[in-house]
Copies of this chain bind each other. A is one copy, B any other.
């Protein structure tokens, strides 16, 4: 149920085509909620059918139509309803930790490879998010500027602050994963040394 709200939230900043939305999912929203275009296009149709967004269709070539979607007042109301709703936390599903629980079924070398992959992935994530935090703080992303342009000035601080807080949280989370992987590597070293006696 989050995809529709992610789309509505993006459209609250400015009208966009499905393609624009798919791109935004790659450069910012995807940091918290990933979605491929094959999921986005049908969802936009559903949102349109339920009146939460409206589409302006402009012909493109002879066959295709380009649709620019805007959020409607019902859409804004739905966004507000969603933000006010206390969502149940989803069940845990963590493939990396599941696998690490059973590293004894592989070699020390394998455990190292796995921890190293974990480390480099989350290190990259951390850098990406740190960059994003810096941009948000400078109010230097297209979407944020658009969002601020249509919001009353009194709200600007909160709008920026919430987003910065979210991405700082993700930076911290990535940092913890990196730390966990490093400690994992140290653990493997200890286990291997102990086994050599």
**Chain A residues in contact with chain B, CB under 8 A?**
2, 5-6, 9, 12, 29-34, 76, 79-80, 82-84, 86-87, 89-106, 110-111, 113-114, 117, 121, 151, 154-155, 157-159, 161-163, 165-166, 169-170, 172-173, 176-177, 179-180, 183-184, 187, 191, 194-195
Name the residue on B nearest A76 (C-beta).
B105
Copy number in this complex?
2
**Distance in Å from the Cβ of A126 to the closest Cβ of chain B?**
13
Instruction: Report Cα–Cα, A177/B169, bound state, in Å.
Output: 8
**Distance in Å from the Cβ of A182 to the closest Cβ of chain B?**
11
Instruction: Report Cα–Cα, A97/B172, bound state, in Å.
Output: 13
The answer to whether B165 touches A172 (Cβ under 8 A) is no
Instruction: Report Cα–Cα, A82/B32, bound state, in Å.
Output: 27
Residues of B within 8 A of A92 (CB): 30-34
Given contacts A95-B90, A172-B180, contact A103 B83 (CB under 8 A): yes
**Distance in Å from the Cβ of A17 to the closest Cβ of chain B?**
21
Residues of B within 8 A of A89 (CB): 96, 121
The answer to whether B2 touches A163 (Cβ under 8 A) is no
The answer to whether A79 touches B105 (Cβ under 8 A) is yes
Instruction: Report Cα–Cα, A21/B179, bound state, in Å.
Output: 32
The answer to whether A170 touches B104 (Cβ under 8 A) is no
Residues of B within 8 A of A5 (CB): 98-99
Instruction: Report Cα–Cα, A78/B67, bound state, in Å.
Output: 48
Instruction: Report Cα–Cα, A57/B29, bound state, in Å.
Output: 50
The answer to whether A33 touches B94 (Cβ under 8 A) is yes
